[in-house]
Amino acid sequence: MPIPQHDASPVARTVTIGSDLVVNRLGYGAMRLTGSGQWGDFPDREAGTALLRRAVDAGVTFIDTADAYGPHTNETLIHDALHPYPADLVVATKGGFIRGGPDYADFGAVGNREYLRQAAHLSARRLGVEQIALYYLHSPNATDVPFADQVATLAELREQGVIRHIGLSNVSPEQFREATSIVDIAAVTALYNLGDRTGAALLAAAEESGAVFSPWFPTSLPKFPTGSADASDDTARFDAVLDPIREKHNATVPQIALAWLLHRSPHILPIPGTSSPAHLDENLAAAAIGLSAEEVDAITALVPEAAQAP
């Protein structure tokens, strides 16, 4: 069943990565199809396989993964579930993070040329592709080599045909602009949602350059501290804006959060993740919600973007 769309919806149905990869506006983030803490295999491999196939059958044409998810097991699951891939499916992956053990404290970042080249080649092997359609530098925080050298390595991989397009994850606007002076950057990903606009300045930079912006945690809602007057006021303020919109569209708040992102900018490509078939269907149904300009503005005004921009 294709992703439902209302003809009256004012948002574009697709977005183009680079100049040639046209994908539907709601993708799927596969990170949750791993073990606890993103370590090891997803415990129900059959269910994970079925969910990935369900997403593609429903019209998802963009799946986001990374070699750090598992590590490696997420890419392998995607391959085993979907390969050979449909012609219109784009699988994006990332490299540069390392995982030294099952704790989140064991995450690190390596940026030297040999490691990034190995990471890209091994991701291509696990995914079963000759060329990775979109390959992100997963972190700009490696300290073993300068950031510009890491971008240059990805540029070399693109020149050699190992990757088609280059993306950047969690970079500052300044790093993004530095990277674009070295090579074309097709996509960026950062934290940006209804309650947290940390990536607002990067979104603006992406819009200026024509890059796609994938917000992670796209359906997350703000968590206000309990027991204070300010928290109660903030909760009431969010509810006062969101409840009438949710009720008007017969939708959940996470669906409104996704619909708002789709309306917020034509460059935004949300990648909500889930391990639940029902939640997957709910997320994809958000593409059919047509918000008015007034509703979009009211939601946008809930959080001061400039104050959170890096």
Please give the Cα distance from 287 to 272 (Å, whole number).
Answer: 12
Enumerate residues 6+ apart whose C-beta is below 8 A from 127: 75, 78, 79, 83, 91, 93
DSSP H/E element including 62: strand 62-64
Please give the Cα distance from 185 to 165 (Å, whole number).
Answer: 7
Q: Which of 119, 121, 118 is nearest to 131 (CA)?
A: 121
Angle, vertex CA 109, rays to CA 75 and CA 165, nearest 5 = 55
Is the distance from CB of 213 to CB of 16 less than 8 angstroms?
no
Beta bridge partners of 94: 136
Backbone angles phi, psi at 261, to 5 degrees: -60, -45
Do strands 90-95 and 212-216 pair parallel, antiparallel, or not at all (unpaired)?
unpaired
Note if 69 is an active site residue.
Answer: yes
**Number of helices (H) and strands (E), helices first, in the chain?**
11, 11
Spot the catalytic one: 28, 69, 135, 136: 69
DSSP H/E element including 92: strand 90-95
Please give the Cα distance from 293 to 214 (Å, whole number).
Answer: 22
Q: Which residues are catalytic?
A: 69
